[in-house]
């Protein structure tokens, strides 16, 4: 120990409150970036789901207006031949392929007494609930329990009306 000279302790050149403020600001910035990444990811996924709902709604309503009745229940990925003159496949296939959320899409002619487009995510959980809530904000009133788009966290249901 005799070979190394002792070091002199020096006081910090900045006050303690400065270091605390810098740490607090950095922590807040990291939390905000994390929240933005999480909500941005859900909003982008919700845009893909909303696009499918919008694309499928128009040909179905045109069919209803011309035929006076809704088509029978079917999977959106395999529409019946009766919808082909309305361009259903051409209109919905691109949004279905671009949809970033995996799940099943159906049209039901008598869902709770009214025709509806039903999306059931492949994975149930927090992310699916956030995506469906964001879809509700894009298509309807933002309240998942009311309006023409409803969600229980397991599936999203867009009720179709004669327009």
- pLDDT tens figures, 21-46: 999 999 999 999 988 887 788 888 88
- pLDDT grade, residue 111 (50/70/90)? low
Contacts 24+ apart (CB under 8 A), 63-71: 63/88, 64/115, 64/160, 64/162, 65/162, 70/109, 70/115, 70/160, 71/107, 71/109
Rounded CA separation 150/20 (Å): 46
Give domain status of residue 76, yes or no. yes
Domain of 39, in residue numbers: 16-159
Would residue 10 count as lying in a domain? Answer: no
Distance CA 46, CA 80 (A): 27
Across the range 143-148, mean pLDDT stands at 81
- On whether residue 8 sits in a domain, the answer given is no
Q: Can you give the pLDDT at residue 47? A: 86
In terms of DSSP bridges, do strands 114-121 and 103-111 run parallel, antiparallel, or are they unpaired? antiparallel
pLDDT at 1: 53
| Alpha carbons 128 and 68: distance in angstroms, whole number | 35
pLDDT tens for 45-103 read 888 888 888 888 889 888 888 888 888 888 888 888 888 888 888 888 888 888 888 88
pLDDT of 163 strictly over 70: no
Confirm whether 64 is domain-assigned: yes
Does the residue 67 lie in any domain? yes
- Whether 125 shows a pLDDT value over 80: the answer reads no
Handedness of CA 57, 60, 65, 70 (dihedral sign): negative
Instruction: Assess if residue 11 is contained within a domain.
Output: no
Cα 155 to its chain centre, rounded Å, is: 12
At 2 the pLDDT is 61
Query: Would 31 be classed as within a structural domain?
Result: yes
How many domains are there within the chain?
A: 1
Strand partners, 149: 158
CA 23 to CA 61: how far, in whole Å?
A: 57
49, part of any domain: yes
């Amino acid at each position: 120990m005799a070979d190394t000279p002792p070091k002199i302790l020096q006081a910090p050149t900045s006050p303690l409150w400065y270091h605390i403020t810098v740490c607090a600001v950095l922590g807040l910035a990291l939390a905000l970036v994390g929240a933005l990444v999480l909500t941005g990811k859900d909003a982008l996924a919700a845009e893909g789901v909303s696009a499918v709902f919008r694309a499928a709604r128009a040909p179905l309503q045109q069919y209803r207006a011309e035929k006076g009745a809704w088509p029978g229940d079917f999977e959106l990925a395999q529409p019946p031949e009766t919808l082909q003159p309305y361009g259903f496949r051409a209109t919905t296939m691109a949004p279905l392929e671009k949809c970033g959320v995996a799940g099943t899409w159906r049209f039901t002619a008598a869902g709770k007494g009214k025709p509806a487009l039903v999306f059931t995510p492949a994975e149930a959980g927090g992310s699916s609930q956030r995506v469906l809530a964001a879809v509700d904000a894009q298509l309807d009133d933002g309240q998942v329990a009311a309006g023409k788009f409803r969600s229980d966290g397991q599936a999203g249901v867009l009720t179709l009306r004669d327009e």
